[in-house]
């Protein structure tokens, strides 16, 4: 169900009002108009409870073992999340249609036998120890467009200050991190699980390096995350291109250190009955150990060409130009296809080049007159290479996804997640057209990562990744459940026992410190101690007058006087600009007035808010309950189930980060993560 379907449902719920509801509508100033949120929402003080609230001891009649330390991976259901990205694009649900100038389709039911892997750079630990921070986008940001292009192609331009070595195309949302930083690795585990990624594919394509310190930290962090409810991606190694001695060295080391010992076995990604290894088994000799290694894995030989048309069997690509190569099974069915954010390829000469070169297939590139469409607030938006800020919209990425989905392979290999850096060189691969070479990454246009950025690219590509995985694999719809109940929020917590839960990951709030490996590039220790209230479960109930909200946390809730304490954001699906990142309402943006009353506010546009009313709430150890009159949210009063989405946040969006939604990735708690929301329908 996309945002427009969402609005449609709300309107259906509003239109057939009975006479008594019409009277209420007149009182609210809505006049029966089919708008989810009235122009003027009335301020209504909550009724005083008919019975005195119970004491904490009387109300807390459930058996919580605090702190909560584990969660089942089956309990958390990211497929049921909604999201609206910063461009107004929404995540699809079963039955939603999509279209481009070349392809169209409808999202189906979740299918088995469909897998997505993503290219993952696990070498940032080793590089971070010896590399200073140099950001190409920042270095060139002061130049005019003409000066920018000149400097990009001039190795000796003074703007570079003579620096070679590694350069970032921009700053990652988690800072210039090491891949031994367990705070970041846990964030990656959750984000990739929420997206539906099945495996991460380590970049071991250079020399004999296996990046052991990083892969050990990743295995350890993912193992813990899995115990805490995260359906983490499994792991594959991609070795050097070709049957070379240094690839054999890696194979033996990885087999000795991991596979022969059965270490982290539940994180191995299996393909056709054996752990998958991307590499060339002919690199090995014929010793007993080498024979054992050959027989242990399913091998897929990684093809370094971007232009192959008829690839050999048992080969897989990692990056291709459109239309991408189809890597087939012996029966002719398509086994694997690649999808790239961008390609360091020259579309005129049809050769691999540097991202800083000429005629490069960047984020805005598409072959032919390609466009795609999406609906935003009831209007159809057409995206092509001429749209303003075209690099935000992933035109290249989308054309490749469309084609890959049309081939319906078993496996899609996405490039990439978190490469971020490239070495600056004067020449590369004997290409005389190149006079300043940043081969794999250059700037915001000529780069190929989906991980969110602190710069202008934000998290656009992350949600485009999520959307296309849903289109490819399908979506299991949420179960239809009855949430109708009247809750005495000052009464016993056990009233909620029969209300279905929205579950979240346990221990998703981490302290970032040197002890967790947080020393990043430039020898900088990256710190974050905003972890506070870790939401484990959320619930919603409703009756004809109120909507009731519940959340419990892994440990006892902190005092309500804390800044940014237990905020509830609500998206009613209303059209127009009166929202912040899709949310029309917020509870607790300002601290509660006392231990039982807090404030509901409505956005007047962006991070600008006006008071709607006072809301009653109660806290019992690790449980918060509150109720909101439906009238304040502009929802039908009688006989109609409310339709909306929501999320809980704690200890973020404060101070200098007010209104910065990217702060939900880095600070405090967001349940569910990032822009995702739980859906009530």
Cα atoms in the 13 Å half-sphere on the side-chain side of 338: 29
pLDDT digits (tens, 9 = 90+) for 180-228: 999 999 999 999 999 999 999 999 999 999 999 999 999 999 999 999 9
Distance separating alpha carbons of residues 341 and 329, to the nearest angstrom: 25
Q: Which pLDDT does position 378 carry in this prediction?
A: 86
Q: Which pLDDT does position 48 carry in this prediction?
A: 45
Q: Which pLDDT does position 51 carry in this prediction?
A: 60
CA distances, 432 to each of 360, 364, 636, 664 (Å): 16, 25, 69, 46
Beta carbons of 610 and 638 less than 8 angstroms apart: no
Residue carrying structure tokens 């006989």: 639
Q: Which pLDDT does position 26 carry in this prediction?
A: 34
Q: Which pLDDT does position 40 carry in this prediction?
A: 52
Q: Which pLDDT does position 92 carry in this prediction?
A: 97
Q: Which pLDDT does position 482 carry in this prediction?
A: 84
The residue ranges of the chain whose pLDDT is under 70 are 1-51, 517, 637
Expressed in angstroms, the distance from the first to the final Cα of the chain is 10
pTM: 0.92
- How far from chain centre, in Å, is Cα 57? 40
Q: Which pLDDT does position 14 carry in this prediction?
A: 37
Supply the angle between the helices 460-473 and 182-195 in degrees, to the nearest 10.
40
Q: Which pLDDT does position 475 carry in this prediction?
A: 96
Kindly tell me the sign of the dihedral angle through the C-alpha atoms of 136, 142, 147, 149: positive
Beta strands, E only, 198-313: 199-203, 234-238, 270-271, 274-278, 298-303
Q: Is 664 exposed, middle or buried (0-12, 13-18, 19+ CB in 10 A)?
A: buried
Q: Which pLDDT does position 7 carry in this prediction?
A: 46
Question: Where in the chain are the domains?
Answer: 3-65+483-680, 116-242+297-473
- Three-class secondary structure of residue 553 per DSSP: strand
Beta carbons of 352 and 336 less than 8 angstroms apart: no
Nearest CA to 102 out of 474, 412, 404 is that of 404
Cα atoms in the 13 Å half-sphere on the side-chain side of 32: 9
């Amino acid at each position: 169900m996309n945002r427009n379907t969402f609005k449609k449902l709300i309107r259906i719920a509003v239109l057939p009002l009975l006479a008594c509801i019409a009277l209420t509508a007149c009182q609210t100033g809505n006049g029966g108009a089919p708008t989810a949120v009235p122009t003027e929402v009335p301020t209504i003080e909550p009724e005083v409870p008919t019975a005195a609230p119970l004491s904490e001891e009387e109300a807390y009649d459930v058996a919580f073992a605090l702190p909560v330390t584990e969660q089942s991976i089956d309990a958390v259901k990211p497929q049921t999340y909604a999201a609206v990205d910063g461009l107004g694009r929404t995540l699809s649900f079963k039955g939603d249609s999509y279209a481009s100038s070349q392809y169209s389709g409808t999202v189906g039911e979740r299918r088995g036998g469909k897998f997505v892997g993503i290219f993952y750079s696990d070498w940032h630990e080793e590089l971070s120890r010896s590399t200073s921070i140099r950001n190409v986008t920042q270095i060139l940001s002061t130049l005019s467009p003409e000066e920018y292009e000149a400097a990009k192609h001039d190795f000796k331009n003074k703007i570079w200050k003579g620096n070679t070595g590694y350069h970032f195309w921009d700053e990652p949302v988690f800072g210039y991190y090491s891949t031994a930083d367990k705070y970041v690795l846990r964030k990656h585990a959750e984000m990739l699980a929420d997206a539906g990624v099945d495996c991460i594919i380590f970049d071991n394509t250079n020399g004999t390096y296996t990046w052991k310190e990083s892969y050990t930290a990743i295995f350890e962090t993912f193992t813990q995350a899995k115990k805490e409810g995260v359906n983490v991606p499994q792991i594959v190694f991609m070795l050097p291109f070709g049957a070379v001695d240094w690839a054999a060295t890696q194979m033996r080391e990885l087999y000795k250190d991991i596979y022969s010992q059965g270490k982290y076995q539940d994180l191995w990604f299996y393909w056709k009955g054996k752990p998958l290894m991307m590499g060339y088994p002919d690199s090995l000799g014929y010793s007993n150990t080498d024979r054992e290694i050959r027989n242990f894995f399913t091998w897929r030989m990684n093809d370094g060409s971007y232009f192959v048309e008829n690839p050999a069997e048992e080969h897989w690509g990692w990056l291709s130009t459109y239309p991408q190569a189809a890597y087939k099974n012996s029966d002719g069915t398509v086994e694997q296809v690649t999808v790239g954010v961008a390609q360091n390829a020259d579309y005129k000469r049809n050769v691999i080049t540097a991202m800083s070169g000429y005629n490069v297939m960047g984020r805005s590139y598409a072959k032919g007159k390609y466009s795609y469409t999406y609906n935003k607030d009831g209007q159809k938006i057409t995206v092509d290479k001429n749209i303003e800020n075209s690099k935000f919209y992933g035109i290249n990425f989308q054309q490749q996804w469309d084609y890959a989905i049309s081939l319906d392979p078993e496996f899609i290999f996405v490039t990439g997640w978190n490469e971020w850096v490239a070495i600056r060189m004067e020449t590369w691969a004997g290409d005389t057209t190149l006079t300043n070479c940043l081969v794999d990454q250059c700037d915001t246009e000529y780069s190929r990562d989906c991980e969110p950025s602190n710069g202008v690219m934000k998290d656009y590509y992350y949600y485009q990744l999520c959307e296309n995985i849903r289109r490819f694999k399908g979506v299991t719809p949420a179960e239809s459940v009855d949430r109708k109940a009247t809750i005495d929020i000052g009464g016993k917590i056990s009233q909620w026992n029969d209300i279905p839960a929205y579950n979240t990951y346990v221990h998703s709030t981490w302290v970032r410190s040197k002890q967790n490996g947080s020393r990043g590039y430039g020898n900088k220790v990256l710190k974050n101690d905003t972890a506070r209230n870790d939401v484990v479960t959320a619930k919603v109930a409703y009756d004809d007058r109120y909507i009731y909200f519940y959340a419990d946390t892994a440990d006892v809730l902190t005092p309500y006087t804390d800044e940014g304490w237990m905020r509830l954001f609500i998206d009613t699906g209303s059209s127009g600009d009166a929202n912040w990142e899709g949310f029309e309402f917020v509870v607790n943006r300002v601290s509660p007035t006392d231990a039982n009353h807090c404030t509901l506010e409505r956005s007047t546009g962006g991070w600008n808010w006006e008071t709607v009313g006072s809301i009653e709430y109660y806290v019992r150890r690790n449980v918060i309950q509150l109720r909101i009159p439906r009238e304040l949210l502009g929802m039908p009063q009688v006989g109609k189930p409310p339709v909306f989405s929501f999320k809980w946040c704690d200890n973020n969006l404060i101070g200098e980060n007010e209104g910065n939604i990217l702060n939900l990735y880095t600070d405090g708690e967001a349940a569910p993560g990032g822009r995702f929301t739980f859906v009530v329908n």
